[in-house]
Amino acid sequence: MAEYSAFSLLRNALSGNRDWQPAWRKADPKPSYDVVIVGGGGHGLSTAYYLAREFGVRNVAVIEKGWLGSGNIGRNTTIVRSNYLLPDSIRFYDHSVKMWENLSHELNYNVMFSQRGILNLAHSPGQADDYIRRGNAMRHGGGDGVWLTPAEIARFAPGVDVSPKARFPVVGGLLQPRAGTARHDAVAWGYARGADRLGVDIIENCELTGFIRDGDTITGVRTTRGDISAKKVGVAVAGSTGRVMKLAGIDRLPIESHVLQAFVSESLKPLVGGVVTFGGGHLYMSQSDKGGLVFGGDIDGYNSYAQRGNLPVVEDVMSEMVAMFPAVARLRLLRSWGGVMDMSMDGSPIITKGPLPGMYLNCGWCYGGFKATPASGFAFAHTIARDAPHAINAAYTLDRFERGYIIDEKGQGATPKLH
């Protein structure tokens, strides 16, 4: 498959763009593989890519029940950040940010990663102390964090109401300059193309219907396109984890599936340079290259497998955005969508061997799945190839809930009272 370059762009422009080749093959399933990855989203595709590139495991298949990128990788707010408090989280997500910084060059595919920064607004002295503590933890862990005054915030995001009479007065904010946004579907396409070039079979419209077992050991998968045997099976299906695990006879996991909505406004002139989050509620917003404001907030609060949400959350998110940016009060909403989130009980992911021999599990991403795509794929690939976790995911075990070693970032799991 040809490299993408300025020369290939010019050559195809002169030929009327008739010579572009498909970015990946439409592979048919083979009878057996060394590894089968269930789930053709960002995490599944990046896992397959790093298995082939970093660990030399190229007899790999990725099976996806729909078309590639039809899940959460194609329906999110595109934010990349590592502004966490706890050491395990900082180590993992900062590793991911570093991988993002070279991803377009590595994949030979423009994922449109833009390090425009993320700003967390603080609206009280207590909240300011909390954010300053987090910023110090980020810097201590090797990351970056800068405290901004209201005047500096006004320069970074001119639309924010920093006046003393604001409904939620701004006392300052924590900025992570290396954070930013990326193009979600380009990430899926880039990893798919990269994995395909290394020999991975990407099999679309291939729904998992069950697992092949030898006693308790998983030895393959049953699909709508036939049975496939495998030495190892990795599961990375986000909000569908509970349903997939039931096919393996596992009825209980420390996760819940919830719907999370996101929204895009009509286009307008440049208003927000980076990502801005509201400290008086749960709202995060950035501006796309097309000019639309991309924003989201809380999960809808009920268990669901539907890729849609309800109106009370729409109203809640809109009211918070207008409180933060009064100038957008008359802006029209262009579209909205929902993604199915696998919310873990402590708000942190699970990347581990098990829970059955021959099976490997990647789930529990809560609000943070997209930004973790490179590190998640690398760590999961390491766990599958070496039968042992990498240092960055060693803490993200399934048994930590039983042991009481929770990685509790602000108690943002599905049911925090169960922590």
Residue 196: inside a domain: yes
Residue 21: inside a domain: no
How high is the mean pLDDT of the chain? Answer: 94
Count, residues in the chain: 419
Question: Are 263 and 410 contained in the same domain?
Answer: no
For residue 419, pLDDT over 50 is answered with: no
178 or 418: which carries more pLDDT confidence?
A: 178
Structure tokens at 190: 């880039």
Residue 208: inside a domain: yes
Residue that finishes a domain, picked among 343, 358, 380 = 343
Structure tokens at 329: 């009060």
pLDDT at 1: 63
Structure tokens at 51: 């298995």
Instruction: Identify whether the C-beta of residue 275 lies closer than 8 Å to the C-beta of residue 116.
Output: yes
Sign of the alpha-carbon dihedral angle for 368, 369, 370, 375: positive
Question: Are 244 and 277 contained in the same domain?
Answer: no
What mean pLDDT do residues 356-380 have? 96
Residue 93: inside a domain: no
Identify the bridge partners of residue 286 per DSSP, sorted by sequence position.
294
Distance CA 364, CA 255 (A): 6
**CATH code: domain of residue 354:** 3.50.50.60
For residue 416, pLDDT over 70 is answered with: no
**CATH code: domain of residue 330:** 3.30.9.10
Residue that finishes a domain, picked among 309, 343, 377 = 343
Question: Are 331 and 359 contained in the same domain?
Answer: no
DSSP 32-49: EEEEEEE--SHHHHHHHH
Percent of the chain clearing pLDDT 70 (strictly above): 98
For residue 116, pLDDT over 80 is answered with: yes
CA distances from 347 to 47, 64, 70, 401, 407 (A): 22, 26, 24, 12, 7
Distance CA 232, CA 75 (A): 29
Residue 290: inside a domain: yes
Question: Are 350 and 411 contained in the same domain?
Answer: yes
pTM attached to this predicted model:
0.95
What mean pLDDT do residues 309-329 have? 92
Question: Are 135 and 261 contained in the same domain?
Answer: yes
Instruction: Identify whether the C-beta of residue 121 lies closer than 8 Å to the C-beta of residue 173.
Output: yes
**Residue keyed to tokens 């099999």:** 203
230-267: burial string, b at 16+ Cβ within 10 Å, e else: bbbbbbbbbbbbbebbeebebeebbbbbbbbbbbbbee
What's the domain range around 248? 30-77+184-254+346-418
Q: Where are the beta strands (DSSP E) in 291-379?
A: 292-303, 333-344, 350-353, 359-363
Task: List CB contacts of 283: < 8 A, sequence separation 6 or more.
Answer: 277, 295, 296, 297, 317, 320, 321, 324
- Three-class SS state of 393: helix
Residue 96: inside a domain: no
Instruction: Identify whether the C-beta of residue 126 lies closer than 8 Å to the C-beta of residue 281.
Output: no
Distance CA 333, CA 300 (A): 19
By DSSP bridging, strand 292-303 and strand 226-235 are unpaired
Per-residue pLDDT tens over the stretch 61-98: 999 999 998 889 988 999 999 999 999 999 999 999 99
Question: Are 241 and 210 contained in the same domain?
Answer: yes
Residue that finishes a domain, picked among 343, 367, 399 = 343
Helix, strand, coil percentages for the chain (3-state, nearest 5): 30, 25, 40
Q: Structural domain tally of the chain?
A: 2
Question: Are 189 and 330 contained in the same domain?
Answer: no
Residue 53: inside a domain: yes
Question: Are 276 and 387 contained in the same domain?
Answer: no
Structure tokens at 326: 């009064």
Question: Are 154 and 297 contained in the same domain?
Answer: yes
Q: What is the dihedral of CA 250, 227, 220, 233, to 10 degrees?
A: -80
Work out the number of other CB atoms within 10 angstroms of the CB of residue 59. Answer: 17
Angle, helix 373-386 to helix 42-55, in steps of 10 degrees: 50
pLDDT at 368: 86
Rounded to a whole number of angstroms, the CA Rg of the chain reads: 22
The model's confidence at residue 302, banded by pLDDT at 50, 70 and 90, is: confident
Question: Are 139 and 245 contained in the same domain?
Answer: no
Per-residue pLDDT tens over the stretch 231-260: 999 999 999 999 999 999 999 899 999 999
Residue 6: inside a domain: no
Per-residue pLDDT tens over the stretch 162-184: 999 999 999 999 999 999 999 99
Burial class (CB in 10 A: 0-12, 13-18, 19+), 219: middle
Question: Are 168 and 263 contained in the same domain?
Answer: yes
Question: Are 311 and 236 contained in the same domain?
Answer: no
What mean pLDDT do residues 142-148 have? 96
pLDDT at 225: 97
Closest CA to 157 of 321, 271, 322, 323: 271
